[in-house]
Structure 1
Amino acid sequence: MRSRLPDDVVMGRESRLEALHRALREKAGQPVLFGDLVRAVWGDEPPAGPLPALRSLVRRLRQSVEDEIVTDASGYRLVVRRPGPAQLPADLPDFVGREEELAALSSSGSPVLAITGPPGVGKTALAVRLAHRIRDRFPDGQLHVDLRGFATGPAVTVEQALGRFLRALGVPPANVPVDLDEQIELYRAKLQGRRVLVLLDNATELTSLVPDVEGCTAIVTSRNELPGQIRLDVLGDAEAAALLDRMKIDGSSGDRTELIRLCAHLPLALRIAGAHLADQHLPDYLADLRGDGRLDALEIEGDAAVRAAFALSRKALPDDARHLFGLLSVHPGTGFDVEDTAVLSEMLAEDTARQLEVLVHAGLVQRSGERFALHDLIRLFAAESAGPDGPPALRRLLSAYLATALRAVALVAPAITRLPQLELDVEGLSFASADEAHRWLDAKRAVLVAAAQVAPHPFASRLADALRGYLNSGGYRLELGVVLDAGLRTARAAADLDGEVAMHNGFGHLRWETGDYAGALKSYGAAAELATSDLMKGTLLNNMGLVKRDIGDLDGALADLREALPISRAHPALYLTVLPNLGTVHGMRGELRKAVELFEETVLLSEEHGFKIKTAGAHENLGVVHVDLGEYEQARRHLEISRTAYARINIAKPNMLIMLAEVAGLTGDRERARALASEGLAMARKVHQVRMEIDAMVVLDELEAAIELANRINFPSGRRKAQLKLARHDRTVAAELVRDVRDNNDLLMESPAVLALAEATADPDLAREALELAKAREQGAVVRRAEAFLAAQPPANGGSTSS
């Protein structure tokens, strides 16, 4: 009798899910044969349909464990999850006291450990010390974000913080949802079953960044009242004295007591004073601190003492360091380096580095490796002394960022249309290679996004326009939305139509990438209503044509691209983008020879104009269409030309490897196919090209995982490729695929899908239908396979033949 017990019913002490997980884990990293897994789960009583039952069980296991389960040709393979994130800031070496609070927080079983209090009281220091003390309880990692809830610059939104956390938890940037509810759901799903510590610094309230997942704990600091808080008071006499000891502050008992009193027992004020006292006798410093240097209090409780210590330290600075200190307040990010600071100050890098050391020594700037930062309260005071030099310094910094970003994206993510160039005050950096440019963009991404948020017109829209290609291709959708919002807001306020058009165009790309095709068309339409130049009109028609192509509206796509073609003739780069895009639409319409004609024209014109990237792309398109035609040698030749051309200009194109792998598989060289596809998969993951990941997984026969990922990112063509492989042996999948391709007008997929259904059902009538479709569309490979299928069928009427 076949077993009909549910998968989670225990067999002895082990459920079927546990048995499957154990069998895979025992051979982690190696494929385990389907038959071996069926025996490990069901023993000698397998279900009636063992492979579908195993697939269903694997699908459930993927949802319940963090380990990755990969589908191979003959079985499944378990990949153990990577070590968790380790984002905690360094602990303060001179931290003192707070033992009562540390003991209470460390022993608390609460999932939220809230630390509140006025500025300068040491909330962050205590939170970091606590996190390091209890980190061993959280073997799956620690997450950290400074939410900048009380800073003068832009705060970090919940969506931005969740995006960073999800990437740290192993979610590729392109897979991070844009919708907040979906982000929260994925965040909690990634934490499920893990023990992760989350440090949320400078929060204004408790938000969904608090995990609310069993086994995870959040440490939250805030100036505001929070539920279940431990509210910090200033240091006690003994703790303040211990801090002075740590900083090696000598002096009489009376002088030390007075210093503590004048610094209001605040750790921040005491640390500034301690740095200042490295070069001054305590009695002299106290005389200054008692005098006119002690400024009136602000509204923020306790900051008078910090302000007094700050004022004395600032007064003692050399002129260059004092001037630099005021300028640092205009920097938009959470941290800065020598390079940024040199632009702000207009000093040489070596001089800037020396002045930064002076500020670190004075306790006014914090240093961590090569990065520097200002405490929020100190930044506020510094801003008061920036004076009229502040706005020009910010303009210099924005000029440097914009100039450098434009050079970087020209190598990493070149675009056809850009907003008109500004006259910039700073030349910016240059790069020797695309890799070097990409590293700079990755390192500066957070500060570039922050810069766009605070930048005045026209810098906000120009930064957004420069960054959109890089952020889009890297999958940094949340950041892209932030900079586009900033650019659109400032462009509208300044009545800058070109800026508005560019931002709407950017939003069109963003919505297209996220599968919001209706939203993409709406954004492109809004841009088209405002566009005044032929270049922009042609660009928008091209973009709308591509969206319509992706949703199966091939007639609409053809109309838009045909309208764009004559408009773009005066702009060769755009013309040589529209022309091959038109070719892809003809290809999808089954007009493969027309597609070849357009791609060959693109090769000739691109070579004539010296457009290396477009030449490489045209050969790539020719490779793809020759695969559809079943002309594999021509396909391989064009793909190898394209691969070499991309390599010469240092552009990573995993799809070249994956297409070559597909051709190798189609011509019977399975070993080469797996090697190329594996290399392409690794490259696709490195550069965050999720669609290419799916194509590689299809070649590698990781079909269930490919379907799941394609559904998650709304990539129907990738899903259909995976389903086509399954369909040849599964009539249910085959029938669903045929309905899907016909409902969505996927003409190139129709004939192989119908043939797969014929093979799964042994139906010669369906095979003849597939043959006729393939002949009409010149799909040579499908023609050959359909003819072979029909030739292998037994003759009708019991084997007799007609004469």
Structure 2
Amino acid sequence: MGRESRLETLHGALLAKAGQPVLFGDLVRAVWGDEPPAGPLPALRSLVRRLRQSVDDEIVTDASGYRLVVRRPGPAQLPADLPDFVGREEELAALCSTDSPVLAITGPPGVGKTALAVRLAHRVRDRFPDGQLHVDLRGFATGPAVTVEQALGRFLRALGVPPANIPVDLDEQVELYRAKLQGRRVLVLLDNATELSPLVPDVEGCKAIVTSRNELPGQTRLAVLADDEAGALLDRLKIDGTVDDRAELIRLCANLPLALRIAGAHLADRHLPDYLADLRGDGRLDALEIEGDAAVRAAFALSYKALPSAAQRLFRLLGAHPGADFDLPDALVLGDLSTEDGEWLVRVLVRSGLVQEAGERFQAHDLIRLFASELVGSEGPPALLRLTSFYLGTACHAAELVAPAVTRLDPLPLVLEGRTFTTTAEARAWLDARRAVLVAVVQVAPHPFASHLADALRGYLNYCGYRTDQGTMLVAGLTSARAAGDRVRETAMLNGLGHLHWRLGAYSQALESYGAAAELATSDLMKGTLLNNMGLVKRDIHDLNGALADMEAARRVSLGHPPLYLTVLSNLGTVHGVRGELRKAIEYFEEAVRLSEEHGFLIKTAVAHENLGVVHTDLGEYDRARRHLEAAWTGYQQAISAEARPNVLINMAEVAGLAGDHEKARTLASRGLELARKIDEVRVEVEALIVLDELDTAIELANRINFPLGRRKAQLKLARHDPALATELLRDVRDSGDLLLESKAVLALAEATDDATLVREALELAKAREQGAVVARAEEILAQPPANGGSTSS
């Protein structure tokens, strides 16, 4: 049987039991029958790796086999088609028949670009079975535009990329975006773009529809509706009248679809002659035209003047909202309204045609939003302050549930209290649903709300992997604080940016941000926090003397702040561990357990137990390691934080494997992998893949997220059978200064080359650092008789 047919057989065997684990042995028999290869499991793993590269279905490693998860349907993000769309048949026919990968629809505001683009997208969607992506880039809106990075982040998530796997660098985002689209047929609708950007896929089989007011290459430039098309729209809108009156309405609305639709909504309970009289009069106000479209402004003005005064006020206040859409609570806050009054007034705005309903949310054309923002005047800043205060109060409460361990700025007095949540899931759902609006609010919020909102959300954004949004918020908060000369909040924003850079592996930028913050810090708590953070970065780049100095300084200034002091204590233990001083590390972790228990800090107690479990694993003391890790897991459960700790399961899996219980190791690692993917803990995902021997996948993922330690751990397993890789790995480990990995890398090279001298070198290194597991393995190798009756080198 050839390689390709084996691949097809494997895929068929997995597909036959899609969603269920298929035993390793059953798969080997399905592929090779009664003549399995000499190493069936490695051969099967190699075949699975090839299959993962050739199919879109996900293949999950379970404890006893592989499980195929059938590819989910592609994204379906197209907005609903307009039921009253008319005309444009000539343009539609031309656009549908072209093979161009980019269909650009341009024209003045209100001419119906979006309506045509959506109609076109629905007409051709069947040609793109792998899904449709859509984003309103808000290139001409009053609030903040959607950046290319933000839009790419949304697209990548829709294409199945976990948030934590999405790069921050634009070029890397574009590369991943195009890689995810390769081999697929996906339609991309980009509304209100200012130019052709990397959001255009440039991938064979995919197509982009782009709308813009600006000139674009290969554009279809829309003019206003022809008279007969405008008449057909009036028919759809059920606007009756004489031929002359209808013709005058079309003329006064300048044949613009948006103006005609607004007029249609306004005419629902009025006679056409009366409306025309108003439209002919001062209401047309050419001096107030929007980018030359007096007809649009006239229609807006008449609909606005017909509103009750309370609805007029709410409409004006909606001009202060910076997001792309709003919900009922937003409207209540902006207008300082009761629920009953707010619901009624929003309905009045919907009936007027100035606001459109989209599920539980509401939208307005960007020209209407511009009209509202010009009317709001002095009412705008107090309304924005109420909205920002509401969002800050709500975000603080939600973030406390979703990311409770994050130290935040002292609370601000709020103009308006936010909503509260009863469960973490409810809080997370609100944050996920409102994230885009929150990003927009931070960029326009008054000081000091911008900094506080960015600070309140950084834990959630970091925890959930929304790096681009996190960076946007922190930069906006930093700009606001610096403009106000506010050192306290500038320090907090720099600290947040330092943490973001650290998580991204940009260590020099992290130290630069932390250092700038440390120069500004005025409190011992913030100074200790920054020293601790700098110590962690230096630990990761193996500047261990610098890490110890920063940590010791942090410990001194944090004595009056128990939560921070205990964090520093545990981190000091990790630095000593990386230095190979495992017994010294244990002293710090045991003290951290004792003091955390005294203060009743459940999570910090659990963290210290987990650290003890890791160190005892290195020492080869597996029973002690297991007890500490089980205590950590119990502690996290008691603190309602077990979901966020798949790393404990991976550590327990490693202990089980080293102790010889490989089935339990795979069970724990599979469970940890599933949980890590659920909450986008990509580093833990790498560690789980290593335990499960999915080494190539682990290395690829570690490289993507700049996790060199994970890459080296995976390479350790491969290096035992590859002298060239083992040599390269040992050089890399020594260059990095990783003392605990050095003995393991030497031993891997010894096994790859069958060199007893290197085994003894690894043994001596491991003994010096009390790495019991490495010592036991080295002694086991030395006790074995030479292979083939020969002699090993000495």
Q: TM-score, normalised by structure 1?
A: 0.91
Paired position in structure 1 for 2:107: 117
Q: Distance in 2 between matches of 1:287 and 1:37?
A: 83
- What are the superposed Cα offsets for residues 118-166 of structure 1, whole Å, 9 maximum, x if unpaired? 1111111110111011011111111111110100111111121112212
Which residue identity lines up with residue 507 of structure 2 in the other structure? Y
Of the candidates 718, 739, 743, which is equivalent to residue 747 of structure 1? Answer: 739
Shift in CA distance, 796/186, structure 1 to aligned 2, threshold 3 Å:
closer
**Residue pairs, 1:20-35, within 5 angstroms:** 21-28=7-14
Q: Distance in 1 between matches of 2:744 and 2:93?
A: 67
Paired position in structure 1 for 2:499: 509
Paired position in structure 2 for 1:637: 627
**Residue pairs, 1:43-62, within 5 angstroms:** none
Paired position in structure 2 for 1:564: 554
SS state of the match for residue 357, structure 2? strand
**Residue pairs, 1:606-685, within 5 angstroms:** 606-651=596-641, 652=643, 653-685=645-677
Q: Distance in 2 between matches of 1:616 and 1:54?
A: 38
Paired position in structure 2 for 1:197: 187
* Alpha-carbon contact 1:72-1:702 (below 8 Å) kept: no
Paired position in structure 1 for 2:785: 793
Q: Distance in 2 between matches of 1:741 and 1:591?
A: 18
Q: Distance in 1 between matches of 2:766 and 2:748?
A: 13
Indicate yes or no: 2:293 matched with 1:303: yes
Paired position in structure 2 for 1:544: 534
* Alpha-carbon contact 2:63-2:670 (below 8 Å) kept: no
* Alpha-carbon contact 1:329-1:382 (below 8 Å) kept: yes
* Alpha-carbon contact 2:290-2:296 (below 8 Å) kept: no
User: What is the aligned-residue RMSD (CA, Å)?
Assistant: 3.0
Of the candidates 725, 735, 754, which is equivalent to residue 733 of structure 1? Answer: 725
Which residue identity lines up with residue 678 of structure 1 in the other structure? S
Q: Distance in 2 between matches of 1:794 and 1:58?
A: 34
* Alpha-carbon contact 1:491-1:497 (below 8 Å) kept: yes
Paired position in structure 2 for 1:135: 125
**Residue pairs, 1:178-577, within 5 angstroms:** 178-298=168-288, 300-301=290-291, 303-414=293-404, 417-577=407-567
**Residue pairs, 1:35-184, within 5 angstroms:** 66-68=56-58, 81-184=71-174
Q: Distance in 2 between matches of 1:661 and 1:752?
A: 19
Shift in CA distance, 756/402, structure 1 to aligned 2, threshold 3 Å:
same
Q: Distance in 1 between matches of 2:50 and 2:782?
A: 39
Range moving further from structure 2, 517-526 or 349-358: 349-358
> Unaligned stretches of 5+ in structure 2?
16-20
* Alpha-carbon contact 1:417-1:536 (below 8 Å) kept: no
Q: Distance in 2 between matches of 1:172 and 1:438?
A: 16
SS state of the match for residue 385, structure 1? helix
Q: Distance in 2 between matches of 1:238 and 1:549?
A: 73
Which residue identity lines up with residue 636 of structure 2 in the other structure? Y
* Alpha-carbon contact 1:119-1:302 (below 8 Å) kept: no
Displacement of 1:236 in angstroms is: 1.8
* Alpha-carbon contact 1:558-1:582 (below 8 Å) kept: yes
Paired position in structure 2 for 1:772: 764
Paired position in structure 1 for 2:18: none
- What are the superposed Cα offsets for residues 42-97 of structure 1, whole Å, 9 maximum, x if unpaired? xx9x9x99999999998787667655566789998876543321111111122122
Q: Distance in 1 between matches of 2:7 and 2:451?
A: 51
Shift in CA distance, 742/294, structure 1 to aligned 2, threshold 3 Å:
same
Count of equivalent residues? 783
Displacement of 1:791 in angstroms is: 2.2
* Alpha-carbon contact 1:345-1:393 (below 8 Å) kept: yes
Q: Distance in 2 between matches of 1:573 and 1:25?
A: 52
Which residue identity lines up with residue 672 of structure 1 in the other structure? K
Of the candidates 579, 582, 586, which is equivalent to residue 592 of structure 1? Answer: 582
- What are the superposed Cα offsets for residues 14-61 of structure 1, whole Å, 9 maximum, x if unpaired? 9x6x556534433346779799999989xx9x9x99999999998787
Q: Distance in 2 between matches of 1:62 and 1:641?
A: 37
Q: Distance in 2 between matches of 1:101 and 1:619?
A: 68
Q: Distance in 1 between matches of 2:217 and 2:753?
A: 64
Which residue identity lines up with residue 545 of structure 1 in the other structure? G
Range moving further from structure 2, 675-684 or 53-62: 53-62
Paired position in structure 2 for 1:5: none
Q: Distance in 2 between matches of 1:532 and 1:479?
A: 28
Which residue identity lines up with residue 12 of structure 2 in the other structure? E
Shift in CA distance, 28/405, structure 1 to aligned 2, threshold 3 Å:
same
SS state of the match for residue 481, structure 1? helix
Paired position in structure 2 for 1:7: none
Q: TM-score, normalised by structure 2?
A: 0.92
Displacement of 1:512 in angstroms is: 0.9
Q: Distance in 2 between matches of 1:99 and 1:499?
A: 56
* Alpha-carbon contact 2:24-2:41 (below 8 Å) kept: no
Shift in CA distance, 648/262, structure 1 to aligned 2, threshold 3 Å:
farther
